[in-house]
């Protein structure tokens, strides 16, 4: 089914595949007469937990809600610090800041490695550090052995922002299950899209219980339970939110979860083709190494580094003229007005790579012709 009505791009950055199976799942759910959190959300949680090998999964309304609940469940608040990379989506820093805790930014490894630097993460740890919040950038797993050693040494919990990394593995273990808590996003452009949506995984039963409670106002029963007559009243154990996922999105999630491994494999094949066509082109570097025996990437993003001193804006404009959508992941968080006002650590690698990174189109059903068109036009543009 064509997405032409929503996209003016010949090659969009990301693209949803809509088919009969997906439409049937939505139609059936709408026809069920129950749209808020209920049995499909519960089924999605069970299936996602099994897929990841996690003890518990709690579906929520967005990746941002997942991060907020993770930070809260670990008890972060005023006076605490959470260390995270600045080269990240701002949701992670916002999730920390809204609890009253302070985000402290660490650097990336640099060169073509856009994941956080374990050495700099450790250097950022201080007496007020309460947690470490790591990102698997673009679906490329971090150096989790180094991060775990640091976390153990300092007795700090690790939250994984696995928004880019559903299905990615580090030494055979699914991203999101390596630290204490893993957070996923199901925003439309993600490898597992539901429109809006998110999910928290953890093996810690007490944390899962608290996250479940905070997801729904701190209440001891869900509307669904009361609808079925399983609960007539409820108590409130602590103030919480409405961060629930709904049945319609859960139905989409169940279908998309079945497709995730194939989606990720298709993305990896496309990434290999990007690399084949761009490696060796003067001035262009493809992010991350071609292979690493420890990791399987979910290849959420296809990121290249442009030549030092080149105008990214001009390259993006030239590609846009050809109908090719590009983006930047990310403007570093420490450069945004609100965060720039905080005391800053030096982040030389982040500052060096940030002006050069460019995200190219990547989605599982992208054709080789589309990809070749992107690489040809990119080479011409620089
Ligand atoms: C790395 C990262 N973390 C968190 C989020 C927030 O997720 P959401 O948009 O579902 O709130 C996103 C994405 O959108 C993201 O890319």
Give the DSSP letter string of 188-207: TTSSS--BS-EEEEES-HHH
307 phi and psi, to 5 degrees?
-60, 145
For ligand 1, pick from 59, 63, 95 the residue to mutate: most ligand atoms within 8 Å of CB.
Answer: 63
Alpha helices in 289-328 (DSSP H): 312-321
Ligand 1 center to 232 CA (angstroms): 36
* Residues 58, 60: Cα–Cα separation, whole Å: 6
Average pLDDT over residues 98-121: 98
pLDDT, tens only, 205-236 = 999 999 999 999 999 877 767 777 777 788 99
pLDDT, tens only, 353-363 = 999 999 999 99
Ligand 1 center to 226 CA (angstroms): 32
Mean pLDDT check: name the lowest of 105-109, 247-251, 340-344. 340-344
| Residues written for the chain | 382
358 phi and psi, to 5 degrees?
-140, 130
Ligand 1 center to 33 CA (angstroms): 30
Average pLDDT over residues 282-299: 93
- DSSP single-letter state for residue 131: E
* Residues 222, 226: Cα–Cα separation, whole Å: 7
Q: Among residues 294, 290, 200, which one has the least CA distance to residue 244? A: 200
Helix axes 20-31, 247-278, angle to 10 degrees: 160
The residue whose C-alpha atom lies closest to atom 7 belonging to ligand 1 is: 63
The atom number, within ligand 1, closest to the CA of 185 reads: 10
pLDDT at 105 over 70: yes
Percent residues over pLDDT 90 in the chain: 91
pLDDT at 252 over 90: yes
Ligand 1 center to 198 CA (angstroms): 9
Q: What is the pTM of this model?
A: 0.96
Q: Please, how many CA atoms are within 13 Å of residue 368, restricted to the half-sphere of its CB?
A: 5
The residue whose C-alpha atom lies closest to atom 10 belonging to ligand 1 is: 63
Mean predicted lDDT score pLDDT of the chain: 95
Catalytic residues: 190
Instruction: Find the angle CA(157)-CA(303)-CA(308) to the nearest 5 degrees.
Output: 110
- DSSP single-letter state for residue 355: G
The residue whose C-alpha atom lies closest to atom 8 belonging to ligand 1 is: 63
Ligand 1 center to 91 CA (angstroms): 6
For ligand 1, pick from 66, 114, 163 the residue to mutate: most ligand atoms within 8 Å of CB.
Answer: 163
The atom number, within ligand 1, closest to the CA of 65 reads: 11
Alpha helices in the chain (DSSP H): 20-31, 39-52, 63-73, 90-97, 118-124, 144-154, 205-215, 223-227, 247-278, 312-321, 337-340, 348-353, 368-381
- Residues contacting ligand 1 via CB (< 6 Å): 62-64, 88-89, 91-92, 135, 161, 163-164, 185, 187, 198
The atom number, within ligand 1, closest to the CA of 135 reads: 1
**What is the model's pLDDT at position 289?**
87
Q: Which residue has the tokens 């897929």?
A: 51
For ligand 1, pick from 187, 191, 243, 249 the residue to mutate: most ligand atoms within 8 Å of CB.
Answer: 187
């Amino acid at each position: 089914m064509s997405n032409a009505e929503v996209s003016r791009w010949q090659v969009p950055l990301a693209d949803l595949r809509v088919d009969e199976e997906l439409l049937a799942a939505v139609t059936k759910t709408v026809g069920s007469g129950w749209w808020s959190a209920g049995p499909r959300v519960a089924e999605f949680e069970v299936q996602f937990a099994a897929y990841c090998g996690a003890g518990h999964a709690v579906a929520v309304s967005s990746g941002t809600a997942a991060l907020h609940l993770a930070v809260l469940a670990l008890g972060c608040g005023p006076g605490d610090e959470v260390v995270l990379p600045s080269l990240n989506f701002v949701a992670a820093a916002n999730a920390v800041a809204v609890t009253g805790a302070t985000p402290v930014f660490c650097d990336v490894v640099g060169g073509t490695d856009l994941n956080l630097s374990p050495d700099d993460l450790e250097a950022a740890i201080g007496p007020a550090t309460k947690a470490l919040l790591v990102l698997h950038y673009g679906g490329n797993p971090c150096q989790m052995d180094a991060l775990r050693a640091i976390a153990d040494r300092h007795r700090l919990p690790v939250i994984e922002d696995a928004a880019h990394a559903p299905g990615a593995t580090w030494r055979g273990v699914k991203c999101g299950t390596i630290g204490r808590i893993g957070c996923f996003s199901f925003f439309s452009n993600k490898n597992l899209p539901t429109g809006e949506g998110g999910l928290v995984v953890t093996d810690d039963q007490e944390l899962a219980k608290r996250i479940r409670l905070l997801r729904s106002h701190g209440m001891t029963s869900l509307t669904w339970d009361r609808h079925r007559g399983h609960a007539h009243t409820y108590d409130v154990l602590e103030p919480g939110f409405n961060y629930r996922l709904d049945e319609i999105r859960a139905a989409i999630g169940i279908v998309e979860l079945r497709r995730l491994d194939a989606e990720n494999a298709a993305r990896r094949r496309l990434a290999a083709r990007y690399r084949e066509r761009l490696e060796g082109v003067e001035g262009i570097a493809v992010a991350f190494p071609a292979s690493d025996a420890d990791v399987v990437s979910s290849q959420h993003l296809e990121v290249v580094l442009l030549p030092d001193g080149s105008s990214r804006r001009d390259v993006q404009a030239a590609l846009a003229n050809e109908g090719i959508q590009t983006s930047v992941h990310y403007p570093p968080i420490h450069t945004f007005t609100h965060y720039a006002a905080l005391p800053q650590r030096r982040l030389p690698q982040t500052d060096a790579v940030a002006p050069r990174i460019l995200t190219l189109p990547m989605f599982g059903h992208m054709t080789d012709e589309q990809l070749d068109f992107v690489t040809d036009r990119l080479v011409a543009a620089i």
